Homo-oligomer: A and B are copies of this chain.
């Protein structure tokens, strides 16, 4: 999306049909809601409309993710300042989006809150995370080309102090001594993942939610 589009957005709030990012997030929300991954107004989603300056289109706090309309988004800058809103406010979790939105190659950030992510994040919390290994589905994560890959999913303790959690996530993103992070879980809370654009971020959500489901069912079979 060009800067011209972005300026356009700041001057007027285009109707849903004309705004691909908004439409794309609403469509993702409809699907995630249907699957039970975003019930109870949980979850939040964003698309990075511009990197310089940082312009992030983010779902407003407390919105029903299965029925997002053009009033249910806010436009924020890198400092979290609301540039445009139809009455909605960003949730505190905005900070978890902003640390990612300012990194290279990240164009969309999605957070879902599924039963499987909730359960797995609790079961593996004491290990600080878990490995996913040997599944063809891992190839759905950008850059992975073989099922022989091994991906570590870190689990962060849940907290209402989101700025502090954002700092911990950012530190983890900047670490060079840990395995590459494609997404992470917050304990009893859900999944954050991202991609270069919304299509990739949505694919990453599907890949992780599929694998969480498989891992949990495998445990139950043992």
Residues of A within 8 A of B (CB): 31, 35-36, 39-42, 64, 66, 113, 115, 118-119, 122-123, 134-137, 140, 145-148, 158, 160, 186, 188-190, 199, 203-204, 206-207, 209-210, 213-214, 216-221
Subset of 9 A-B contacts with CB under 8 Å: A36-B210, A40-B207, A40-B210, A41-B140, A64-B203, A119-B214, A135-B188, A136-B158, A147-B189
Rounded to whole Å, the gap between the CB of A199 and the closest CB of chain B is 7
Question: Taking the nearest CB of chain B, how far is it from the CB of A213, in angstroms?
Answer: 5
Complex contact A40–B140 (CB within 8 A): yes
Query: By DSSP majority rule, is chain A's interface helix, strand, loop, or mixed?
Result: helix
Contacts of A206 on B, CB cut-off 8 Å? 39-41
Complex CA–CA separation, A160 to B147 (angstroms): 8
For the complex, give the distance between the alpha carbons of A136 and B113 in Å.
9
